[in-house]
Structure 1
Amino acid sequence: MRIIGAVLGTTIAALILALSIGIAPASAESTPSPSPSGDFTSTFTIGGLIRDGDTPLEGVEVRVEGQGFDEIGVTGADGRWVVPVPEQGEYTATLLPESLPDGVAPRDPDNITRDVNLSTTNTVNVLFPTGEGTVSTSNFGSTLITRIIFGLNFGLLLALAAIGISLIYGTTKLNNFAHGEMVTFGAVIFLIFGTTLGVPLIPAIAITLVLSAFTGYAQDAWLHRPLRKRGVGLVQAMIVTIGLSIFVRYVYLFAIGGNIETLDTGLTQNVTIGPATITLASLVSMGVSIVMLGLVGLFLTRTRIGKATRAVSDNSSLAAASGINVDWIIRVVWILAATLTGLSGILYGIFRQVNWNMGFQILLLLFAAVTLGGLGSAFGALVGSLVIGIVTEVSTIWIPNDLRYAVALLILILVLLVRPQGVLGRKERVG
């Protein structure tokens, strides 16, 4: 019963979130207009999401025809378009290439029409991939620089969350499979305060980080420390984190549904860096990531608590014998890791929008970054995250966007075959 109470206690903030979102008005961009009867069973929609890589495309037009019906849907700022149709049946959805922004083209210009069957469902989403299948030699350099900049941004925000995983593993040897939900928590809490409730940007970020820090405290104080005191093994503790991950993930689904939400930062201006054009929000997020990572480095190398953290990570028994309060250091690590991960969630939500499953979708990449850099090494997590981020983005020059994560994991396998301890990891004697 105590463990059950602990699990419920760690998710109290998520339950508050569910109540807050549940009473908030839905976004007009992602909710189709209902039929006159207002009955869900008589509401039929065709829609989708159109992006250039990870950048939503606004103002793109898609024509939906069929059953004597003809209407054009237009993407909003989040790249989503929705067309309500009068009845079930067969329709066609056609992308209008002339509405695409300059420099963006359908990946397959001869295949821009989709057949849509609404006979067995009320809603169908269709996909129109953009981006040229091959890159000309003259444009290769500018395309490569653009992808590297996007990859650097992605890698930096991955690093904030991956360092949290690495610190927790280093001090407790626990692989926390609920870490992805800590990323989602930061994004969703910021969505509530910054977008739904209209709290100014800086206070909304501060509230999000405080609540994120509290979840780190709660997970250790109410769940993992009691498990350690009872002598629960690492495998059992890991399974507890898997259960917590599943529970919290579906709390998010219940709270915000399956829609994709856009964070309102007010930083919508575009900034040109060489051949790349990114939003001011992305540029600011890169700067914030660099500053925070620098502060973490100083904390670990120049402060007494940071040095004690490294000592516990190296050898907790020896650290305890030296007078270090290991339990207190672990508590600090959980709070720090949750705070960094909450910040990562905010930045990731700005980078790729918010949905209930966003943290879980990158959890494998986070573990890959930590493993690639070296288990338990915070600086290794940074290196691994940058490699993963840049590789995933640059690989889209040659392969479909949906396969980019597979390339990053392939790089992980190849590196570990050559250097099993990771880039900055240390060899350990086995047996």
Structure 2
Amino acid sequence: MRVQLLLASAMAQGGEVAPGPGFAERALQSFVDGIQFGAIIAITAVGLSLVFGTTHLINFAHGELVTIGAVLAFFLNVAAGGPGWHLIPAAVVAIVAGALLGGVAERGLWRPLRDRGTGLINMFIVTIGLSLLLRHVVLVFFGTRPQSYREYDIQQALELGPIGITPRDLTIVVVSVLVLVGVALMLQKTRTGTAIRALSSNPDLAEASGIDVHRVVLVVWVLGGALAALGGIFFGLSEIITWDMGFRLLLLMFAGIILGGLGSAYGAMVGSFVIGIVAQVSSLWFPIDLQNAWALLALIVVLLIRPQGILGQRERVG
């Protein structure tokens, strides 16, 4: 989309038409756009990957946490009758709300189901039902009309050589990378992160070694909810806010997680960037409506070569 805007901005001044950017410039611009898109996917996918790694639950309702974060920030920022806050404090409140929602879901729904011995297939069906419920609750309150935030909507692109990027999009990429680095450092350098990795690797051994499994899983859900809300706000900033935006992003989240390696937070980050870059670069040759299809095709090709994913561990079968 941004490539088309750059083409339009390269039109003539004073009645003359300037030549458009060459293929190399357009490819580089698409690559940068892909990094931004991949960063948004990665922010939302990391929490989903951690939940799967610690509980083996495929949470189909994770996309709705993305939508709720974006929509709550919108109501605090723009909606009539709302407080009309600046986007930054509205985003902070939405992220905290996403974290609380993730914690409440774990404490009030998923933990009781696990304690009752509910099977993973049954719990997966529950996530689908919860997804449909939350999505249509958002539809009732938000409506079907796409919206945008009040601040940072229209900006002049910064020209960095052949690349054009707005301060908003540059901020999204920088903050996303910093958050992802922070999550990686937390997983590597803190006791909680070590416990999360141990639980993902071998739940029985982790519990036998004295790790409080319930507390660790609760932390994962809180972290996942916060990251999903942040990713939803970034997605709404870079694209548009809709009632089903999280559901539209969910397939790409799963693609990034599977491509990177199931249960690996680092794999989810790497796989998400690959998916985002392939989706954007494919628009150089094919209609933009097919960009997600080409991203999923890249997933299939990689899995044919490396079934465990980019950073996944090969497991023995049988």
TM over 0.5: yes
Query: d(CA) in 2 for partners of 1:191 and 1:103?
Result: 33
1:151 is the counterpart of 2:58: no
**Hey, what does 2:265 align to over in structure 1?**
378
Counterpart secondary structure, 2:311: coil
Counterpart secondary structure, 1:272: strand
Runs of 4+ in 1 over 6 A off after TM superposition: none
**Hey, what does 2:48 align to over in structure 1?**
165
Equivalent residues of 2:70, 2:241 under 8 A apart: yes
**Hey, what does 1:247 align to over in structure 2?**
133
Query: What percent identity do the matched residue pairs reach?
Result: 46
Equivalent residues of 2:87, 2:149 under 8 A apart: no
Query: d(CA) in 2 for partners of 1:147 and 1:208?
Result: 30
Please give the per-residue CA displacement for 1:110-142, whole angstroms capped at 9, x wherever unaligned: xxxxxxxxxxxxxxxxxxxxxxxxx99x70111
Query: d(CA) in 2 for partners of 1:54 and 1:200?
Result: 30
Equivalent residues of 1:54, 1:352 under 8 A apart: no
Task: Provide closer, same or farther for how the CA distance between residues 166 and 225 of structure 1 changes in structure 2, counting only shifts above 3 A.
Answer: same
Instruction: Give the alignment of 1:10-409 within 5 angstroms.
Output: 101-103=8-10, 139-196=22-79, 197-266=83-152, 268-409=155-296
Query: d(CA) in 1 for partners of 2:200 and 2:161?
Result: 42
Please give the per-residue CA displacement for 1:320-369, whole angstroms capped at 9, x wherever unaligned: 10000011100000000110111000000001110001110111110000
Equivalent residues of 2:148, 2:236 under 8 A apart: yes
Structure in which a larger fraction of residues adopt helix: 2
Unpaired runs of at least 5, structure 2: 12-18
Equivalent residues of 1:395, 1:404 under 8 A apart: yes
Equivalent residues of 2:3, 2:26 under 8 A apart: no
Larger Rg computed on CA atoms: 1
Structure in which a larger fraction of residues adopt strand: 1
RMSD over equivalenced CA pairs, Å: 2.0
Query: d(CA) in 2 for partners of 1:271 and 1:189?
Result: 30
Equivalent residues of 1:366, 1:385 under 8 A apart: yes
Deviation, 1:253, is 1.2
Query: d(CA) in 1 for partners of 2:202 and 2:151?
Result: 43
Deviation, 1:54, is 8.6
Please give the per-residue CA displacement for 1:9-66, whole angstroms capped at 9, x wherever unaligned: xxxxxxxxxxxxxxxxxxxxxxxxxxxxxxxxxxxxxxxxxx65696x9xxxxxxxxx
Please give the per-residue CA displacement for 1:150-196, whole angstroms capped at 9, x wherever unaligned: 10000011101111111000000000000111111111011111223
State the one-letter code of the partner of 2:276: G
Equivalent residues of 2:45, 2:272 under 8 A apart: yes
State the one-letter code of the partner of 2:133: F
Query: d(CA) in 1 for partners of 2:112 and 2:89?
Result: 34
**Hey, what does 2:14 align to over in structure 1?**
none
Please give the per-residue CA displacement for 1:278-325, whole angstroms capped at 9, x wherever unaligned: 221111111110110110011000000000000000011100100000
Deviation, 1:147, is 0.4
Please give the per-residue CA displacement for 1:207-257, whole angstroms capped at 9, x wherever unaligned: 011101011101100110000000000000000000000111111111111
Unpaired runs of at least 5, structure 1: 1-50, 58-99, 105-134
**Hey, what does 1:414 align to over in structure 2?**
301
Query: d(CA) in 2 for partners of 1:151 and 1:52?
Result: 11
TM-score normalised per structure 1: 0.69
State the one-letter code of the partner of 1:246: L
Indicate the structure whose relative CO is greater, using CA pairs within 8 Å and at least 6 residues apart: 2
Instruction: Tell me the matched-pair count.
Output: 308
Task: Provide closer, same or farther for how the CA distance between residues 385 and 427 of structure 1 changes in structure 2, counting only shifts above 3 A.
Answer: same
Query: d(CA) in 2 for partners of 1:270 and 1:142?
Result: 15
Query: d(CA) in 2 for partners of 1:366 and 1:266?
Result: 26
Query: d(CA) in 2 for partners of 1:301 and 1:102?
Result: 45
Deviation, 1:265, is 2.6
Query: d(CA) in 1 for partners of 2:104 and 2:171?
Result: 30
Query: d(CA) in 2 for partners of 1:248 and 1:150?
Result: 30
Equivalent residues of 2:3, 2:30 under 8 A apart: no
State the one-letter code of the partner of 1:145: L
Deviation, 1:375, is 0.3
Task: Provide closer, same or farther for how the CA distance between residues 269 and 194 of structure 1 changes in structure 2, counting only shifts above 3 A.
Answer: farther
State the one-letter code of the partner of 2:87: L
